[in-house]
Structure 1
Amino acid sequence: MNKRNIAYLACTAVLAGSALGAAPSAAARGVHVVRPGQSIQKAVDAASPGDTVLLTAGTFYESVKVTTPGLTLRGLGRHTVIRPATTQAANACAENGNGICVIGTKDRNVENVTVASLTVTGFAKTGVFSMGTDRLTVRKVTAVQNGVWGIAQEHSVRGVFKENIARDNGDAGIFLANAVKAEQGAADAQGAVVARNRLEGNRIGVTVRRLRNLTVAGNHISGNCAGVFVVGDENKPKAGALTIRDNHVVSNNKSCPANSRLEALQGSGIVVTGAEDTLVTRNLVRDNVGNSSLSGGIVLFKSFVGSANERNRITGNVLAGNSPADLVNTDTTATSNTFEGNQCRASKPAGLC
């Protein structure tokens, strides 16, 4: 039996036994167990690269900043809950309204951090926020009723977001971007993956903003104002080289008012604006109904600064019951986009099905 297995067994024994003292402890080398009332941040700060901070069931009232490479922050499922603190010592994550922050430096990404098997809810901005990361994994996290995003990332590469639930967040359930506060060309996400998540009741299920080389696959996306939103613009390099496949995008008919960046939304399944070389394939897209210029099953829309979609392929999708049409191409000045092999009844303009 290796040392890590011994550490895990020792941790299990501690959880089954009597209560610990007031301070978080390391049940064995590499495993730090934290119970409600104890400080997650203290355990994270005490951990070394490769360690696990294990949160028991219960509710924790704090924001947590992770900067240690290779760290795993893991709960015991949905009943491990992180909520905002009423008062907390100075912490940039809390000050920015976020629950869990994984942050690298300007010169070096923090690598191989995992956040898993817990709930983050009620934060003013984001449940789980990351910036400057490489190979971050967010898995089996429930992000519910946060003010802006459920799970968000910028300036990062090779992220993996799998088997999460993001529900009733103010903007996107999952939001991935090059940079939020700067006008820049699209960044290379180097194979980031958003897969097998359940995204419900948000403004937008998944937003991909000014990124390249990323896959959105196998997600269940329902009850949002818009299901998947790819945002590009006139900056270079252009957003694109993306794959959106095998998603169920159904009844995203919540009504959301306009904001400073986007018109009112309702009934948008998959929207691509100002992007290039994107493959949208094998998705089930049905019953997305609205009266916005972005409404419809799969919509190609010239970006809001006038940048055309180019060389995008819409192939092999199954669409039904979307309105004003299953396939919508408002970007008629671009001639390099292709619609092939889709099962649908109505398109705008006619002839795309």
Structure 2
Amino acid sequence: MCSRNHLPAPLPRLSLLSLTCLLTLCVHPRTLPADTLSVPEKYQTIQSAIDAAQPGDTVLVAAGTYYERLRLKPGLTLKSVGDESRGERGLKRAETTIIDGSRQKEGAGVLLAENAVLDGFTITGVGVYDEQKWNHHHATRGEQQSHEHIGAPGTPGIAIMDVTCTVQNNIVHHIGYTGIAAQATAGKRCTPHIYRNVCYRNMGGGIGSMHDSQAVIEENTCFENFYAGIGHDDASPTVINNTCFENIRAGIGISEGSCPLVRGNKCYRNRRAGIGSRTGANTRPLIEDNECYDNGMAGIGASESAAPLIRNNRCYQNRLAGIGSQSHASPTIIGNECYQNGQSGIGQQGDAVTTLINNYCHHNKTAGLGFADCKSGRSTVVNNRIIDNAQVAAGVHSGWTVLFLGNEFARQGGLPPILMVFAGADVTLTGNTIRGGGVAGIRVAGKLRAENNEFAGTSLRKVGPPNFGVWALPGAEVTLTGNRFHHWRHALSASEATVMASLNHITDFHRTALLIQNPQAPAHVFNNVAVSSDPQVEVLTLTGQAGTVKGNALRKPDTAPDKNQSP
């Protein structure tokens, strides 16, 4: 039992000021000011300075070559000494401050940490760069490359794993894998800002965003990389205002279920597409406001069931199409300008399913819109301007079912038809304008339904090569309803075809408005109107089977009253 005599002596009384100070220290511990650790002035190696640093500190590294591989700490800034002066490829301070990983075997060149900053270094010597292999696949346009995922295991120059950080102003080259790789593991976030870096001659992509990464990839320059300049594997980053050129595959490659925003980039002279999306219906990027030119294949390509939204891009002078779709891709293509491409402005093949709206395709070397042979392709084509392409405005080959609605198809000169519907194709035209010369407005060997279109010939050619609004070849099936034809030798010339023509209005023709010879089935021609002041012309010349032929009328042109004539 304790007694009063054994109680400890009372503590000395604290003053009010002392008590206040003590409580302040407990509740608000003192924050030390950020420190700057200098390499090599105070620390011989960069890693030793990193190990000594605290969150908020800056490790400042002087110019030189450092044979290290680095692991950053959270909240640390690692920066090279110097200002923002430009050098040959990037900032001068980045060019002269080199992290060379060639003397170590393990780990990335630099492994980032949460809220860390990596600013202004050259990173090289990580893994094996194979010059012979690079040259071989460059020469073969990547056709013989293995189709490895960009997210396949490897050791990058800069690794960003499950962190938010900043990687800026660095130069990453001659890495045996991807230059800068960002990825998240299950349930974690990876949201770095990858800004104004230069990545070239790496054996993977220049920059890779993988496995749920949500990076912001901005204003980087990526060139001569073994795969894409910027690549995606199951990731949804924001990719804006980058420049990607002379990469062996695409300038920007999107695959494996990635859904990035790709905006404002410039992609040129890549060995394959400027921007490519592939591998699955869950690959659904938004590709908008980019400039893609002089690429070895398409300016923008979609394949392997990818479903991109391709909007407001400029694609020109590419070796193949401005925008190309193949292998069951289902892109939506809106408001793009495609011109001076080696093949079509917009080209489709391989059972693609496409939607084309408000695009402008002009001065391409083959078709404005191309639909190559396939088994079962479908396209809806609405309100596009397809002008002055070297061959046809649109060529629809076997296997395609295409709806053209409200488009303008025109060409100033040349002999090819403006539209060509090949055998095995099924085309519906509603409310379009077909303007120009050549042998025909539409030359048909397949199936055509044309309703409420305007066929505007530029000049009537009475002799010489054909000059028909619609030229139906043997075996064709043609239905013409409510169309307007003018300045064609014949509105319709059909031989050994199946024909129905009704409610069409035809002016400025030669001898006969509708010429049908030996139809395969009874021809149905009714309620058409031909306008001419020549009493010797005919609305219809038909040889062979007649089905319904009635109500066709020849009318004189309307004449306005003389303004000087008295009523």
Q: In 2, distance between residues paired with 1:81 and 1:251? A: 30
Q: TM-score, normalised by structure 2?
A: 0.45
Q: In 2, distance between residues paired with 1:161 and 1:329? A: 30
Q: TM-score, normalised by structure 1?
A: 0.69
What is the CA deviation profile of residues 260-299 of structure 1, one whole-angstrom value per residue up to 9, with x for unaligned ones?
A: xxxxxxx31011233544111111111101xxxxx31122
Q: Of the two, which has the highest radius of gyration?
A: 2
Q: In 2, distance between residues paired with 1:124 and 1:46? A: 23
Q: Against the structure 1 CA distance between its residues 297 and 324, is the aligned structure 2 distance closer, same or farther, given a 3 Å change threshold?
A: farther
What is the CA deviation profile of residues 296-328 of structure 1, one whole-angstrom value per residue up to 9, with x for unaligned ones?
A: 1122122xxxxx222x21121112216545642
Q: Against the structure 1 CA distance between its residues 50 and 127, is the aligned structure 2 distance closer, same or farther, given a 3 Å change threshold?
A: same
Aligned equivalent of 1:227, options 328, 345, 353: 345
**2:309 equivalent to 1:193:** yes
**2:215 equivalent to 1:72:** yes
Q: Against the structure 1 CA distance between its residues 122 and 38, is the aligned structure 2 distance closer, same or farther, given a 3 Å change threshold?
A: closer
- Contact residue 24 and residue 38 of structure 1 kept, 8 A: no
Q: State the identity %.
A: 19
Q: Against the structure 1 CA distance between its residues 71 and 239, is the aligned structure 2 distance closer, same or farther, given a 3 Å change threshold?
A: same
Letter of the 1:227 counterpart:
G
Aligned equivalent of 1:337, options 405, 413, 427: 427
- Contact residue 24 and residue 34 of structure 1 kept, 8 A: no
Q: In 2, distance between residues paired with 1:214 and 1:348? A: 26
1:176, CA displacement in angstroms? 0.7
Q: Against the structure 1 CA distance between its residues 113 and 43, is the aligned structure 2 distance closer, same or farther, given a 3 Å change threshold?
A: same
- Secondary structure at the residue paired with 1:278? strand
Q: In 2, distance between residues paired with 1:319 and 1:168? A: 25
What is the CA deviation profile of residues 31-53 of structure 1, one whole-angstrom value per residue up to 9, with x for unaligned ones?
A: 32221335795753477734123
**Which structure has more strand as a fraction of its residues?**
1
- Contact residue 171 and residue 197 of structure 2 kept, 8 A: no
Structure 1 unpaired stretches of 5+: 1-9, 86-93, 104-109, 179-186, 233-237, 254-266, 290-294, 303-307
Structure 2 unpaired stretches of 5+: 1-74, 84-92, 100-109, 119-162, 444-467, 471-484, 486-567
Q: In 2, distance between residues paired with 1:219 and 1:326? A: 24
Aligned equivalent of 2:393, options 297, 305, 322: 297
Number of residue-to-residue matches in the alignment: 281
- Secondary structure at the residue paired with 2:265? strand
- Contact residue 404 and residue 428 of structure 2 kept, 8 A: yes
1:148, CA displacement in angstroms? 1.7
**2:238 equivalent to 1:114:** yes
- Contact residue 272 and residue 300 of structure 1 kept, 8 A: yes
Aligned equivalent of 1:133, options 235, 257, 263: 257
Q: In 2, distance between residues paired with 1:122 and 1:231? A: 26
Structure 2 equivalent of residue 252 of structure 1: 364
Aligned equivalent of 2:288, options 149, 162, 174: 162
Q: In 2, distance between residues paired with 1:317 and 1:119? A: 34
Structure 1 equivalent of residue 388 of structure 2: 287
Structure 1 equivalent of residue 352 of structure 2: 239
Aligned equivalent of 1:37, options 171, 185, 200: 171
- Secondary structure at the residue paired with 1:172? coil
Q: Which has the higher contact order (CA 8 A, sep 6+)?
A: 1
Structure 2 equivalent of residue 182 of structure 1: none
1:69, CA displacement in angstroms? 1.1
- Contact residue 208 and residue 229 of structure 1 kept, 8 A: yes
